[in-house]
Chains A and B, each alone.
Chain A
Amino acid sequence: MKKIHALLVTLLFGFASGAGLFALALLPSPEVLQSERRKPAAPPAFSDLRDGSWMRNFENYAADKFPLRDSFRRLRAFTALYLLRQTDKDGLYLDQGHAGKFEPLNETAALRCAEMIAKLAANYPDQQVYYAIIPDKSIYARRDFPGLDPARLREVAAPILDELTEIDLVPALSLGSYYRTDLHWDQAKLRPVVEALGDRMGFTPRWDFTTQGLGAFHGVYAGQLALPLKPDEMTILTDGVTDGAAARYFDAKSGEFVSGPVYHSGKVTGRDPYDVFLDGAQALVILENPNAETDRELYVFRDSFGSSIAPLLLPNYRRVTLIDLRYINARILPQYVTFSPGADVLFLCGWQIFNANTWMT
């Protein structure tokens, strides 16, 4: 019996490790890690031997090309959340059908971001300047995760931004306002947010939109968590204004603005389906409403959340200019954008922007 036992154990280990060896050696690396929305790690260069990064880089390369990678990632998530009953896996959680990621407030980064906004806002004495912080969806999850206190963020930011008009978006949102598998808010659920903005910025929101479905998608957290989650439905809101609007996108290479649609429906099947809204990562976008009944203009310093709400603000403005300081430095902004006197300026920042302070000034 002992011999059979030993033989079986040996065979099992030999087969498993041998299969892994052959798979690692023979299988090519995937071009893209679809669920993680990134390219796999490249094999290390020989120069990495000098700085001691060879081992780490090779391990990243091997782990990224490991066969059944997504299945093993799923197993790890399952182990953490269901077997070990942990409330999150590396900060990623699943609650009430929503996947999310806890990002505790980084007060230092938040402070710097608030100072940056205050400094930028000082450049616009002839405009009405507002700011609104988009809360992370995690504050609506039924969890007592420490360090996710929007009141604390306001405490940090408010004294520095006291010259600006604050728009509190916390009451206007709920967990249902966000996609279940993504960090972003769902455009179709933004009516209370537009109303909150209109209330403080002095416009009466129009809500004559038609909902158009573009298909199912899995958001960024579904990929990160690696659990089999029900997909979200990507919808866009359209009306005569969005249909008739002209969108111009800044092309950094030519330094010119290039025309394009407001919604990029084909992107729903791309790496980041949220690129449907204003083509995703863009330094500058100008939306023109040729049928506007007003001359008001709006400049929005924003992140990706701003892409989906901008079309909903367009009926109340003749022109909406979107500026993403992650992709353009504030110092060169005057070369491309002239702020009209009397216009509205809105700093609309997600929790992540405050936490990581990724704007360039």
Chain B
Amino acid sequence: MTQLPGLLDTEAIRKDFPALDRVLHDGKKLVYLDNAATSQKPRQVLDALTEYYERHNANVHRGVHVLAEEATALYEGARDKVAEFINAPSRDEVIFTKNASESLNLVANMLGWADEPYKVDHETEIVITEMEHHSNIVPWQLLSQRTGAKLKWFGLTDDGRLDLSNIDEVITEKTKIVSFVLVSNILGTHNPVEAIVRRAQEVGALVLIDASQAAPHMPLDVQALQADFVAFTGHKMCGPTGIGVLWGRQELLEDLPPFLGGGEMIETVSMSSSTYAPAPHKFEAGTPPIAQAVGLGAAVDYLQSIGMEKVQAHEHAITSYAVKRLLEVPDLKIIGPVTAEDRGAAISFTLGDIHPHDVGQVLDEQGIAVRVGHHCARPVCLRYGIPATTRASFYLYSTPAEVDALVEGLEHVRNFFG
């Protein structure tokens, strides 16, 4: 078996993930390489969900009975855990949403309804990049169409990195918000935050970072990033679906208007007007995803018990090995950086002119789960002139043997369609 420096004890870790034991298609062991889409869930998270529903289920912030108080303590306790996980200066800066898309849309809508100095209008500009997930493109297109603000973006270099050569022309005095992805879900590229944040700060623009593919895989320190907002989702980091996070700087959350109105987000309500609860509740209208937040708290505990630096080192080792092995496959072309430097554990590729759908289907027949398509990042496919890619993405439980299985599987695909 291949030994690589920095690997975690995957034999022990994999015992925590029941789904990884699945056997498919008459005896093929599941090789789960679709972690950028969603991660599998450890027993600890599944138990936390079950225990919440079996023992503590109640609505939060409303009752005086025992269960209501327990549910509230668990929900708010999850907020504490997430705040610590991302090194937030205050727990009140952590807003629970349903996913990263909602977090990104929430910021776009806060700004859409904001007064000066945050107001986005026809005299201002919004900046994104060509490697964004659709969830960090469409909300800004909507805001641009509704306000008349100009939407601009950074292009990509041929080797899958952001082209920042024209940064001073892209981010200008007119820029109100710069929103970009920390680690690309399709290219795997880890973007240089500092250069972008520095330029944004020079012109007084706000910065929103989409950390959906970063939070699960590396230490995330929102203070070190120096952004104004950071968005991510729970289900890619061992948590349940239906829970996302938006972190925002406290003074911004105080100044900016709410988006969704309803229960929980108010202070007082009369028939003609209302006043709002302080953040984070101001941005959490209605009954929140309570069990899902509790599950995310358990996921954070799980990841912390292993250590995010170790998770990062493990994935770096796996990614280095995977890049090397994949490049040995004839006709395989990696779309994105071809080294493991400044790169996450999602690797997209094309295999000759065999369509990714066919690659994915034949891999599935061997028990290997990958993602095929444009990965909700169609502009990237257009940029590189390809209809789609096959993407293998790794996590803390991925092993060198699984990389080998993928490479073997791809050989089989080539023979099949060759």
Q: Do A and B come from one complex?
A: no
- Write the residues of chain B forming the contact surface with A, with a CB cutoff of 8 angstroms: none
